[in-house]
């Protein structure tokens, strides 16, 4: 990572850390658009990180998206960055969903978006929709993040996409999950060192230590898998690296969230505690843009087609 990368990620970490407090996360979950956060992101150019002339590589943009996951950023940074990239300018609060019948569904903050891109499975283009109050049906995922449906008007414009949009958005979830899981582990480490039972911090108990050792293994695996998928952005096997990463990170999310809640005890089960903002996101993101089984099948079909004699060659990459 060179200095420029570090400057960018340092700035993102500071801004996300300052603004994404529990009050903001709670308010966003109640449906209140985080306008001040959006304003700050715009002022700092985060919404246009994906533009060809931004001076920032796509890999770096995913580093920032990962930090967003680490702070449970209550805005769909991956969608904003990628939509503006595909639109060719960076002015808008744009979001992305997928076309189902006459609607674009699962649109993060569709209700507040200025423009929505609807992706169609198997098509390289997407439809452009400007949401109106009477065309948006509100919904949310299990983390309370808005996931709206937007009706597609007759004669809506379409644009061509040359990049693998589904895979890029999947990578957005992968990166955000990796960041999110790191934060969950940190919350665990902080909690078990503070919480005392039987006259000592529960961190001293071997049962707790071993649970967190397992969680640390999963977090490290998620992180390495996410990095590998980002590294493959320009590679012919990008889609398969995304498949491996989403499958692996999804498995890690389930294990880490389970352990995190166990070591936090009843405290972590309360709405008042911040843990759930991260664990619910990890749970929700597992199922967005294809769950583990979806991507395992995709990778598995490819490996099966290669057959037993070419299997190892596929796995034994240099990077």
Partner 1 sequence: MLQFDRVKLPESSDALRAEVREFLAESAEHLERPNSDFTTGHDPAFSRKLGACGWIGMTWPERYGGAGRSFFDRYVVTEELLAAGAPVSAHWIADRQSGNLILRYGTEAQRQHYLPPITRGESYFSIGMSEPNSGSDLASVRTSARRVEGGWLINGTKLWSTDAHRNHFMIALVRTEPVSENRHAGLSQIIVDLKNDGAQIRPIRNIAGAEDFNEVVFEDVFVPEDRVVGEPGNGWEQVTSELAYERSGPERFLSAFRVFVELVRAAGDQPEPQLAAAIGRIGAHLMTLRRMSISVAGMLDQGKSPNVEAALVKALGNDFEKRLPEIARLAVTDLAEDDPRHRSFRQAFTDTLLLSPAFTIRGGTREILRGVIARGLGLR
Note the residues at the interface with partner 1 (CB under 8 A). Answer: 182, 185-186, 189, 192-193, 203-204, 206, 208-210, 212-214, 216-221, 223-225, 227-228, 231, 241, 243-245, 247-248, 251, 292-293, 295-308, 311-312, 314-316, 318-319
Tell me how far apart the terminal alpha carbons of the chain are, to the nearest angstrom: 16
Q: Which is nearer to partner 1, 4 or 237 (CB)?
A: 237
The answer to whether the CB of 98 falls within 8 A of the CB of 206 is no
Q: For residues 250 and 283, what is the distance between their CA atoms, to the nearest angstrom? A: 8
- Shortest separation between residue 166's beta carbon and partner 1, angstroms: 17
- Shortest separation between residue 317's beta carbon and partner 1, angstroms: 8
Provide the Cα torsion 49, 50, 53, 59; round to 10°. Answer: 90
Q: Which is nearer to partner 1, 104 or 245 (CB)?
A: 245
Q: Which is nearer to partner 1, 51 or 65 (CB)?
A: 65
- Shortest separation between residue 263's beta carbon and partner 1, angstroms: 11
Q: Which is nearer to partner 1, 27 or 220 (CB)?
A: 220
- Shortest separation between residue 252's beta carbon and partner 1, angstroms: 9
Q: Which is nearer to partner 1, 160 or 316 (CB)?
A: 316
Q: For residues 319 and 312, what is the distance between their CA atoms, to the nearest angstrom? A: 15
Enumerate the H helices of the chain as residue ranges. 3-19, 22-29, 35-43, 58-70, 77-87, 165-194, 206-231, 238-264, 275-287, 292-306, 311-315
DSSP, collapsed to helix, strand or coil, labels residue 242 as helix
- Shortest separation between residue 169's beta carbon and partner 1, angstroms: 19
């Amino acid at each position: 990572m060179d200095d420029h990368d570090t400057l960018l990620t340092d700035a993102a970490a500071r801004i996300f850390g300052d603004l994404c407090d529990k009050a903001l996360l709670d308010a966003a979950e109640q449906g209140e658009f985080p306008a001040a956060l959006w304003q700050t992101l715009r002022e700092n150019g985060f919404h246009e990180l994906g533009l060809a002339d931004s001076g920032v590589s796509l890999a770096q943009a995913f580093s920032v998206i990962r930090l967003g996951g680490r702070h449970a950023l209550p805005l769909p940074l991956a969608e904003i960055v990628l939509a503006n990239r595909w639109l060719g300018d960076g002015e808008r609060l744009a979001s992305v969903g997928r076309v189902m019948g006459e609607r674009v569904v699962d649109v993060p903050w569709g209700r507040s978006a200025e423009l929505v891109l609807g992706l169609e499975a198997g098509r390289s283009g997407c439809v452009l929709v400007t949401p109106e109050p009477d065309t948006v049906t509100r919904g949310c995922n299990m983390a309370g993040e808005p996931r709206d449906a937007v009706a597609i008007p007759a004669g809506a414009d379409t644009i061509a996409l040359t990049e693998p949009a589904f895979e890029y958005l999947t990578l957005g979830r992968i990166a955000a999950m990796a960041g999110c899981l790191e934060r969950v582990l940190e919350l665990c480490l902080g909690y078990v060192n503070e919480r005392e039972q039987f006259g000592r911090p529960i961190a001293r108990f071997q049962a707790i230590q071993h649970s967190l050792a397992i969680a640390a293994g999963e977090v490290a695996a998620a992180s390495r898998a996410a990095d590998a998928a980002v590294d493959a952005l320009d590679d012919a096997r990008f889609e398969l690296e995304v498949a491996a990463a989403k499958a692996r990170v999804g498995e890690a999310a389930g294990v880490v969230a389970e352990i995190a809640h166990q070591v936090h005890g009843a405290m972590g089960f309360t709405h008042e505690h911040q843990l759930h903002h991260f664990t619910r996101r990890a749970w929700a993101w597992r199922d967005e843009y294809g769950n583990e089984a979806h991507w395992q099948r995709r990778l598995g079909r490819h490996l099966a087609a290669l057959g037993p004699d070419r299997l190892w060659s596929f796995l034994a990459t240099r990077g």
